[in-house]
Amino acid sequence: MEKYLRVGVISSSHGVRGEAKIFPTTDDVQRFKKLKTCILDTGREYKELHIESVKFFKQMVILKFKEITSIDELMPYKGKDLLVTRDQAVKLEENEYFICDLIGLRVVTDEGEDFGVLTDVIQTGANDVYEVKRPDGKEVLLPVIDECILDVDLEKQQVTAHIMPGLVD
């Protein structure tokens, strides 16, 4: 399991006082209102940043950090990830998972056969779709519906799936 979860990416500056435009990568952008600190992944180190203010502009979040006071201090971090620790993460409902915890899980059929490895989660709006790489290298898309995905066991690192007719053809 990942130690940190990404909640956004610094896309650019907002003004000249070091405010950052953040592209949110979380389902709940309102979570930024409650966030007091976050972690900046500079590529070489993790830097804790204290959030002074939060604004929303179109699909972006505007954050002001205590440690960054000018556009010149912010610009080296353009494109860098903002992370939170797991204890700061949004609480999940039953049968909800963080995508980073699903990537890499083994997928087995309800008959016990090795089906492949979960490589991506596609969010379609109606239901998610698991992208699975088969042992032969082919990719298969499995809809995340009760009839297809029977169990997700993070401890076993395994997804159990019923392969419905027509999914593999």
How crowded is residue 121: how many other Cβ atoms within 10 Å of its Cβ? 16
pLDDT tens for each residue of 70-91:
999 999 999 999 999 988 888 8
Band of residue 137 on the pLDDT scale cut at 50, 70, 90: very high
52, burial (CB in 10 Å: exposed 0-12, middle 13-18, buried 19+): middle
What is the DSSP secondary structure assignment for residue 77, as one 8-state letter? G
124 pLDDT band, cuts 50/70/90, is confident
State pLDDT tens for residues 84-122: 998 888 888 888 898 889 999 999 999 999 999 999 999
pTM above 0.95, yes or no: no
Dihedrals phi, psi of 118, to nearest 5 degrees: -70, 120
Whether the per-residue pLDDT at 2 is higher than 80: the answer is no
- The 10s digit of each residue's pLDDT in 149-169 is 999 999 999 999 999 888 787
Q: Nearest CA to 19 among 95, 77, 106?
A: 77
Structure tokens at 34: 């409650």
pLDDT at 1: 58
Mean predicted confidence (pLDDT) in 39-68: 95
pLDDT of residue 93: 84
| Other Cβ atoms within 10 Å of 132 Cβ, number | 23
Average pLDDT over residues 124-142: 92
Number of H helices, E strands in the chain: 3, 12
Report the C-alpha gap between 36 and 23 in whole angstroms: 18
Which is nearest to 62 in space by CA: 11, 107, 113, 101? 11
Residue with tokens 């940190």: 4
130 forms beta bridges with 121, 142
Instruction: For the chain, give the percent of residues with pLDDT over 90.
Output: 77
